[in-house]
Amino acid sequence: MLAPLPAAGQETPAPDVFSEVIDVRVVNVEAVVTDRDGNRIRGLPVSDFELWVDGWRVPIDYFSEVDEGVARSAPETGATSESGAAPATPQAAPSVPPDERVRTNYLVFIDEFFAVRKNRDRVLKRLEKDLSELHSEDHVAVVAFDGGNVARLTDWTNKDDQLRDALREARKRKALGLMRRADLDPVAMPSAGTDQAGEALAQAGVGDQPGLLDVRRSSTSLLHNKRERQIQRSVLAAATTLRSFADPPGRKVMLILTDGWGVPSWESVNPIGPLPPSLEDLYGPLAHAANRVGYTLYPVDLPGLRPNFLNSPLGIGDASAGYNEGDFADPTVTTTAGPFSVPEGLNVEWFQEAALAYLAHETGGMPMINDFRDMALAEAAADTRSYYWLGFEPRVNQTDELHEIEVRVPGRPDLRVRSRRSYFDLSGSAEVTMMTEGAVLFGGAPGKETLGVRFGVPEPTRGRKIHVPMEIAIPLDDIQLLPMGDRFMNELEFRVTLINEGGERSDTSIQKVQISGAAAPPPGAVFVFETTLLLRSTEHRFVASVYDPLTGAVLSAQGTVGPKSGRAASEGG
């Protein structure tokens, strides 16, 4: 945990001139159009499409059709509607030159924290085999998350030998999914509901003891909360990974190889305490990060349908087959009647599929569930070969708000459209936060490493925590001071993120740092301010950054902090 304490003399509001610098960005929407049987529909002109944002029709500023990986010339230009919503001559989508092949980028995220080795390796071997399904211009990057850090096994490459080496290296790494299962209640108890738990207690001869069932319910609730915190760790690692791989040209796809990403507290029919989280609560950060940087998600169900469920008379179908808007997709859902009526344990399968289907649905992808795990890369490649690429310039930029998107083909009620459902209008400030969090996971620094950092002697406080004084020196040559009357001013943002050896990462706090002087600073001048970190009494890796909203410059520093920080300097005088 981390809690920077406010430094003195930094509470006076700065002038409005230090608000965000707004720039114009293009939001890209890739749309798959099919008939009712799932067959792709090709050759539609831009005039057949409508693009709606937050319930309002907006102009389509960019339009291209990608057919079997090749950007086709538009068959006609869009005619201006009576409302003026559709532009007369939309440009080709950025990075999609007409009549040229479009590069597709496949980012493979392996969640080792939840994966079981046998299931993970089965899927990785098939991914290696299906590399032959990609086009020569397509690129792949492979990363693995072990619960603490993200390892970059290979950066973007289209070299088969490098990719095969990376996937083979991934199979040699530890898979920690069995440990996650061991985190669950060590006493074998049914998880489908408290009624079954009560029956099990009665059969054990303890069902009539007052309060025992309440203890069991409370214990189960704690286990579910722990599991959900673990899921959040993997989800945030995947979201940070997206930001770190946000820049390749062309279409961007992420395959998420994981197990156990359901909503654990849904497994209790009568949960204790507040309402359980929704799919949006747990998985929204990843879906929104994907939509913000233009990724389509293809989550891969590593275990597939578990063998003991195959003979169930109810069964669960592949959510991938004919997937449009399945029952899993509603982000407002917190509980659903259907899964609780299925046999014991089968509801867990449903909940896990629900999470994967939500991620795919929100970003325009497909969930690779059950048998589809064995063809994940081949299916993702086939699914991203033919689509329509629409783009628009949002009227409001960098407001850190979520906006709904809908693509319509109003004159063709027989057609179905699949696309991302929202975009997150990320501010420059929020982007710096993501960069800082990415650096603490991947290593490196989010900007120019010119910050000076010095720690004081830690002071113990309650709960095995310590206060660590922190001094930050900002070189004024690297930032902009704006003349305001008789002062030279700026208001910077300071961030710091920490991660311990167990992979637990702090929230990224933001402090405003006001700089004000009567004259322009001389070359080499440094501004120093102090803050205090509150953290557990163990060693942490830290990444600190300072953001200048006037220029967009990011200054940074990285290192370690813990109980021994500052002592050497103190003891040495």
Model pLDDT for residues 368-391, shown as the tens digit of each residue: 988 899 999 999 999 999 999 998
- Tell which residue, 503, 441, 29, has the closest CA to residue 238: 441
296-315 per-position pLDDT tens digit: 999 999 988 654 443 333 33
Residue 169, domain member (yes or no): yes
Does residue 71 lie in a domain region? yes
Q: Is 423 helix (H, G, I), strand (E, B) or coil?
A: strand
* CATH code where residue 472 lies: 2.60.40.10
Is the CA virtual torsion 18, 24, 25, 29 positive or negative? positive
**Domain, as residue range, for 471:** 16-20+447-571
Same domain flag for 411 and 494:
no
In this model, does residue 38 exceed pLDDT 80? Answer: yes
Cα–Cα distance, 369 to 28 (Å, whole number): 27
Residues 144 and 202 both lie in one domain: yes
pLDDT score, position 184: 58
Q: What is the pTM of this model?
A: 0.73
Do residue 141 and residue 58 come from a single domain? no
What end-to-end distance do the CA atoms of the chain give, in Å? 30
Q: Lowest-confidence range among 41-55, 130-144, 352-366, 428-442?
A: 428-442
- The phi and psi torsions of 387 (rounded to 5 degrees) equal -170, 175
Residue 571 pLDDT greater than 50, yes or no:
no
- pLDDT digit string, tens, across residues 150-191: 889 999 999 999 999 999 999 999 998 888 766 654 443 344
Helices (H), 174-305: 177-182, 194-203, 212-244, 279-293
Of the candidates 556, 449, 424, the one whose C-alpha atom is nearest the C-alpha of residue 493 is 556
Whether residues 486 and 540 fall in one domain: yes
Quick one: pLDDT at residue 365?
A: 94
For range 257-272, the mean pLDDT:
71
Total structural domains in the chain?
A: 3
Q: Answer yes or no: do 241 and 312 share one domain.
A: yes
Q: What are the residue ranges of helices labelled H in 245-373?
A: 279-293, 346-363
CA 518 to chain centre: 44
State the average pLDDT for the chain: 78
How would you classify the pairing of strands 251-258 and 295-301? parallel
Domain end residue (candidates: 328, 357, 383):
383
Residues 252 and 178 in one domain: yes
**Higher per-residue confidence, 58 vs 313:** 58
Residue 441 lies in a domain: no
Query: Mean pLDDT over residues 425-430, rounded?
Result: 72
Task: Specify the CATH number for the domain of residue 258.
Answer: 3.40.50.410
Are residues 76 and 121 both part of a single domain? no
Residue 225: CB partners within 8 Å, gap ≥ 6?
265
pLDDT value at residue 56: 92
Task: Supply the pLDDT for residue 23.
Answer: 43
Q: For residue 140, how many other CB atoms are within 10 A of its CB?
A: 26
Please indicate, yes or no, whether residues 393 and 247 belong to a single structural domain of this protein.
Answer: no
Distances (CA, A) of 480 to 476, 490, 491, 492, 516: 7, 7, 10, 10, 12
Same-domain pairing of 417 and 358: no
417 and 344 part of one domain: no
Q: Mind spelling out the 3-state secondary structure of 35-103? A: CCCCCECCCCCHHHCEEEECCEEECCCEEEEEECCEEECCCCCCCCCCCCCCCCCCECCCCCCCCCECC
Angle at 405 between CA 403 and CA 411, to 5 degrees: 155
| 54 and 163, same domain (yes or no) | no
Block residue for tokens 């490459």? 157
Give the percent of the chain with pLDDT over 90.
40
* One-letter identity of residue 570: S
Among the candidates 334, 355, 383, a domain finishes at 383
**Are residues 277 and 395 located together in one domain of the fold?**
no
